[in-house]
Chains A and B, each alone.
Chain A
């Protein structure tokens, strides 16, 4: 709760700092110290020493899972600010406002990870989405950014409409918006719950870009400024997944036999479409967009299994995927050429950056000793507790093998190709060492996942 209030206040502070602070480094310093503060406040709340206790009237519950998940999200945003904040200057003139919007998104993220009412879920999703439409279109002169924003906006509000219809039908059937063990009213037909649940399911699948609702993802991720694609594909996606799982765990846990099969179908389609299409991409940015669809397929396993191992898995997966992707996108934002050839010979010109990038790519592909491997392992372990899901796990492993191909294309370009004629990208010292630290973190989480998972059961 404290982190929610603080990030809302920080959003306002950032808006004021746009005309109070003239220097961009000063704005950046305020934003970074702000996110550090949010992280600290959240850690204090996690150790049961909150500054404020607020009666949320059963609309929000900050349980361990929500608090630990928020910590991962805030840590990811801190690393994102450290690595990518200087690149936001290139997007447009409203430097401080971008940070303000990101802090407002963090408010939505806290709502989505801790809601206990469909009202707060809806508000959280919208507080995340509306600033994201703006960030997508923030490169005002760039036609691709404009198109991405319009497309994202139209598709996003359409799916919001579907979700609201689902919520209204569920309200009719339950007589309440609470997601804590709601029961069907005796006078209402069960078809209302089924229809409402399906509509909410479609809308959430759309927001996490699970196939066949993924069609907007490549265009929007490709068109948005790279720094903001990084934020969208990691922090936001992880948070919406947490909300998705929380909703189906609390509100629809009783109907699991009915929806489990459909989740399995969506998982298979998502893994297949994401991985196979990523193989044929020529631009690294677009490849990462498809890879984020493929990773969403793995994250859907937590929804499919819906048990303790799955929840541990989604936490670890969000951390592993966010940290690795933030690193890759941060390097990508500094490249002059977004094709695979743009990475040619990077190991020669910037060995440290290339090394860190290799760790991130290995983590995304799920190679042992990285966080990505142990996260995928937890997901598959969670799925195997459901009888009859061996075929699903085998399929997922095959698709992970396919993903090795397109991730290793980048590594091959960096290490086994000669540098091109174009000038090599420059990386400042601070950037390089933060990237190395991030790579170390990815390996550390892969070797000792208890460092994070142990927090769930303090």
Chain B
């Protein structure tokens, strides 16, 4: 399959994530949209990794390790995303305990 399909799919997912972050008011849904952005990046990295490997094989380098670092990066993104989830959910829970709401409209209170 041409790489363009993967690029378009992951850009579409990424854009859905961005639009969600900018328009939604619920902190948890914003958070889910951010995770969607990160996963769009994961998809793109894996697609590019495969593409670089194929290019190396086409250039008669069958034992090539081209593209492995892209897949490696995906694991790092997953780990960091997990760390972010744990901290982020803790912050949202702390917020909920104090105001019994996860609506981000509340955040405007700081701009007195």
Residue among B10, B14, B87, B99 facing the most chain A CB atoms (10 A cut-off): B87
A 145-180 binary contact with B (CB < 8 Å = 1; else 0)? 011111101100110111011011101100111000
Secondary structure at the A interface, as helix, strand, loop or mixed, is helix
Known contacts A130-B84, A146-B91: does B69 contact A165 (CB below 8 Å)? no
The number of chain B residues touching the other chain, given as a range, is 35 or more
Name the residue of chain B whose CB is nearest to the CB of A195: B11
Q: Does B16 sit within 8 A of A, measured CB to CB?
A: no
B12 at the interface (CB under 8 A from A): no
- If over half of B's interface residues share one DSSP class (helix, strand or loop), that class is named, otherwise mixed; here it is helix
Which A residues are in CB contact (< 8 Å) with B21?
Answer: 154, 158
| Binary interface encoding of chain B residues 84-111 relative to chain A, with 1 for a CB under 8 A from any of its CBs, else 0 | 1001101110110011000010110111
> Contact flags (1/0) for B42-85 with A, using CB distance below 8 Å?
00110010011001000000000011011011001100100110
Central interface residue in A126, A187, A223, by most chain B CB within 10 Å: A126
Q: For the complex, is A21 an interface residue (Cβ under 8 Å from B)?
A: no
Contact assessment for B94 and A137 in the assembled complex, using a CB-CB cutoff below 8 Å:
yes
**Least distance between B67 CB and chain A CB atoms (Å):** 8
Which chain B residues lie closer than 8 Å to A169 at the CB level? 44
A164 to B70, CA, bound (A): 12
CB <8 Å contact, A187 and B91: no
Interface core residue of A133, A150, A158, A187 (most chain B CB under 10 Å): A150
Measured CA separation A147–B38 after assembly (Å): 24
Q: Could you tell me how many residues of chain A have their Cβ less than 8 Å away from some Cβ of chain B?
A: 40
Q: Is the CB of A151 within 8 A of B45?
A: no
Give complex CA distance A223, B106 in Å: 14
Q: Is A140 engaged at the interface, CB distance under 8 Å to the other chain?
A: yes
Complex: A175 Cα to B91 Cα, angstroms: 37
One of B45, B69, B109 near A168 (C-beta < 8 A)? B45
How distant is the Cα of A292 from the Cα of B73 in the complex, in angstroms? 33
**Known interface pairs A143-B98, A144-B110. Does A171 touch B48 (Cβ–Cβ under 8 Å)?**
yes
A146-B94, A168-B48, A187-B55 given as contacts; is B14 within 8 A of A119 (CB)? no
B107 and A175: CB pair below 8 A? no
CB neighbours of B91 from chain A (8 A): 133, 137, 146, 149-150, 153
* A122 close to chain B: CB less than 8 A: yes
Chain B nearest CB, measured from A456 CB (Å): 32
Query: In the bound complex, how far is the Cα of B51 from the Cα of A185, in angstroms?
Result: 12
Report B-chain residues with C-beta under 8 Å of the C-beta of A149: 91, 94-95
The 8 Å CB contact of B34, one of A133, A158, A172, is A158
The CA of A130 and the CA of B106, in the complex, are separated in Å by 23
Complex-state Cα separation, A146 to B101, whole angstroms = 12
Q: Which residues on the A side are within 8 Å of B84 (C-beta)?
A: 126, 130, 157, 160
- Docked Cα-Cα span, A316 to B91, in Å, equals 36
Further 12 A-B residue pairs, CB within 8 A, beyond A146-B94, A150-B95: A119-B73, A122-B77, A123-B76, A134-B87, A134-B90, A137-B91, A137-B94, A140-B94, A143-B99, A147-B95, A164-B38, A168-B10
Show the binding face of B for A, using Cβ within 8 Å: 7, 10, 14, 17-18, 21, 27, 30-31, 34, 37-38, 40-41, 44-45, 48, 51-52, 55, 66-67, 69-70, 72-73, 76-77, 80, 83-84, 87-88, 90-92, 94-95, 98-99, 104, 106-107, 109-111
23 A-B pairs (CB sep. < 8 Å): A119-B72, A123-B76, A133-B88, A137-B91, A143-B98, A150-B91, A150-B92, A150-B107, A151-B107, A154-B21, A154-B31, A157-B31, A164-B38, A165-B37, A168-B41, A168-B44, A168-B48, A169-B44, A171-B70, A172-B7, A175-B52, A177-B73, A219-B110
